[in-house]
Structure 1
Amino acid sequence: MAELELPLGADLERAVAAWLAHLRHERGHADKTLEAYDRDVRQFLAFLARDLGHPPCLADLARLDLKIFRGFLASRRRAGTVSRSLARSLSALRQLFRWLEAKDIVENRAILRLAMPKVPHSVPKPLTVAKAAEVVEARGEAELDWVNARDVAVLLLLYGCGLRIAEALSLKTKDAPTDERDVLRVVGKGEKERLVPVLPIVREAIARYRELCPYQLEPDAPMFRGAKGGPLSPRIIQLAMQRLRGELELPATATPHALRHSFATHLLSAGGDLRQIQELLGHASLSTTQAYTEVDRDRLLAVYDAAHPRS
């Protein structure tokens, strides 16, 4: 990515660094989001440098018109960039220009007149209730084998608590649920905390893993360990799901993250409130959670038919 190494004017370099610091410390954006936004903005600035013939500075940003932004998106599309990535790039640039205006550094609203690329609508693909149950019950040697016990505990956290795989693997031993403490404090994206209830079957699976694990589980260290005692890699759980896809004839969409989708969809099917499901999943916006209403449209239509006075 040599284009990203092109120099910027010193004032613009400082402004971009300050904007990223604002997103990190005041908006709570996750590291991966910040990396993507930094990359998107620098791709645009590299494109601008080639167009101008010199490293861009803040004064150059003030003079930009709609044509340069359209040219950038067109060049990215010709390079094979998909609409979803283009939309993220445009979102990053809009946020940067809004921040520059709010700080009285640069005012240029040309980019706000540019329409967002249309992104294909994707809907989560959950497992059926029966298939999700097969997944978390499939590791039959969990009573004796600590690795299988570990995998069952992680998979149950994904399906039984709706955790992201990174959230499950970052849990510390001292935060493990017990009979006396049946909730988990989870730190999700953007360092947002939430409390998640833990079913007895999940608590039992975690207790079984801790009993069988051959390594000392320090209170402040990650609870789930790999075969050599280090922190468990997400790739190991992905491979476990890959094996289960073959054993249980699951679809290719049956990934660890699909268990989280299944958690949300099955709660909705059972009458769960969308706002409460949003809280359990740790979604910042309700619109993200609303994707599950499309997955479970049949159940919602049935509720409508049963409840609406004119149905």
Structure 2
Amino acid sequence: MPPGRQARTREDAAPVIGPLLAAADLRASAEAWLTSLATERRLSDKTVEAYGRDLRQFLTFLRDHLGDPPAAADFADLRPTDIRAWLAARRGDGLAGPSLSRALAAIRSFTRFLEKTTGTRTTALTVVRGPKKRHALPKPLSRDAALRVIDAEEIDTGAAEPWIAARDAAVFALLYGCGLRISEALGLTRSEAPAPDTALRITGKGGKTRLVPVLPAVAEAIADYLRLCPYALAADGPLFVGARGGPLNPRLIQRAMARLRGALGLPDSATPHALRHSFATHLLMNGGDLRAIQELLGHASLSTTQVYTEIDENRLLEAYHAAHPRA
């Protein structure tokens, strides 16, 4: 046990977030923090789950590193070497740079909450830098490939029934034509099925609401699906359903895309989410305003949207080197 730390009895410890043992005060703070992430900051369930998992792993490390179940007071005694040892251990477990950065962000968030609610300050985190970000550019589809992906006739080759091919084409049309995330498309209800030249009101990450115009081709694809769908869809029920009439599982859309990759000779990067990247990239390449694209995608920060300008610049450089006589 590091010098200056006092051992605590087992009675002082209590389980926190699953099987992990920690002191009762830390358990209460952890649970309150996760609740605040979901209710006050309105982070998505998956983000809250990931942050909770990061904290659980950090506290597990502290239990082994310090020799006792950690308490809130231990956070004030943490040294930069403790934090670096944890980062090294997580990297040794195979955690990549982006996941390490997220884990460090989760711990920073928790320590800020701990300082705000209990006055316990963790100064060690102020001098520890996260791993350098290696920014991977999104990989959009080409214009022709994207148009083939949303073609029901192309999808029909791998679908069991025509209505399923029409359903998959309608989902892909929403991803590419409106820039939706797959969870946003599958979260639409029957009453929200758009008409041509209208707008969809989408609630995305963090509860952020945006209006997305609906192109006639997208509305037509959805209308074709509804015309062929054998089920009577309740107004407040899901717009897209599976073969048995229940809510459509996103894995089925991913499998449909996998079949198309093989049939159309597309790269492994051709995923449902790549259609959202294609939406943004193709708008930008055709003169779309970056701020408008940010709003359409529902990005909280313009810097998130700016990554698409790098794709455009790279393609311009590739065209220059391929075509210029002096390149």
TM-score after normalising by structure 1: 0.91
Aligned to 2:42: 28
Instruction: Report matched runs for 1:221-232 at 5 Å.
Output: 221-232=237-248
Instruction: Report matched runs for 1:210-229 at 5 Å.
Output: 210-229=226-245
* Deviation by residue 1:172-204 (Cα, 9 ceiling, x = unmatched): 01111124x711111111222111000001111
Deviation at 1:26, TM superposition (A): 1.4
Aligned to 2:167: 150
The question of whether the paired residues in 2 share the 8 Å contact of 1:97 and 1:109 is answered with no
Aligned to 2:13: none
How many Å separate the matches in 1 of 2:232 and 2:18?
44
The question of whether the paired residues in 2 share the 8 Å contact of 1:293 and 1:300 is answered with no
SS in structure 1 opposite 2:274?
A: helix
SS in structure 2 opposite 1:296?
A: helix
The question of whether the paired residues in 1 share the 8 Å contact of 2:43 and 2:205 is answered with yes
* Deviation by residue 1:212-244 (Cα, 9 ceiling, x = unmatched): 111111011111010111111111111111111
Cα gap change, 1:4 to 1:70, in 2 (>3 Å): farther
Query: CA RMSD for the aligned pairs?
Result: 1.9
Equivalent AA in structure 1 for residue 284 of structure 2: L
How many Å separate the matches in 2 of 1:81 and 1:200?
44
How many Å separate the matches in 2 of 1:257 and 1:137?
17
Aligned to 2:290: 274
- Which of 188, 195, 198 lines up with 1:182 in the alignment? 198
- Which of 249, 262, 266 lines up with 2:265 in the alignment? 249
Aligned to 2:320: none
Instruction: Report matched runs for 1:1-150 at 5 Å.
Output: 5-137=19-151, 139-140=153-154, 145-150=162-167
SS in structure 2 opposite 1:203?
A: helix
How many Å separate the matches in 2 of 1:197 and 1:207?
16
Aligned pair count reads: 298
TM-score after normalising by structure 2: 0.87
The question of whether the paired residues in 1 share the 8 Å contact of 2:152 and 2:165 is answered with no
Detail structure 1 runs of 4+ shifted over 3 Å in the superposition.
298-301
SS in structure 2 opposite 1:8?
A: strand
Aligned to 1:306: none
How many Å separate the matches in 1 of 2:204 and 2:253?
19
How many Å separate the matches in 1 of 2:316 and 2:290?
12
How many Å separate the matches in 1 of 2:65 and 2:142?
53
* Deviation by residue 1:76-126 (Cα, 9 ceiling, x = unmatched): 112222111111111111111122223343112211210111132100000
Aligned to 1:162: 179
How many Å separate the matches in 2 of 1:116 and 1:211?
52
The question of whether the paired residues in 2 share the 8 Å contact of 1:4 and 1:39 is answered with no
SS in structure 2 opposite 1:116?
A: coil
Cα gap change, 1:111 to 1:141, in 2 (>3 Å): closer
Report sequence identity in percent: 56
Equivalent AA in structure 2 for residue 150 of structure 1: R
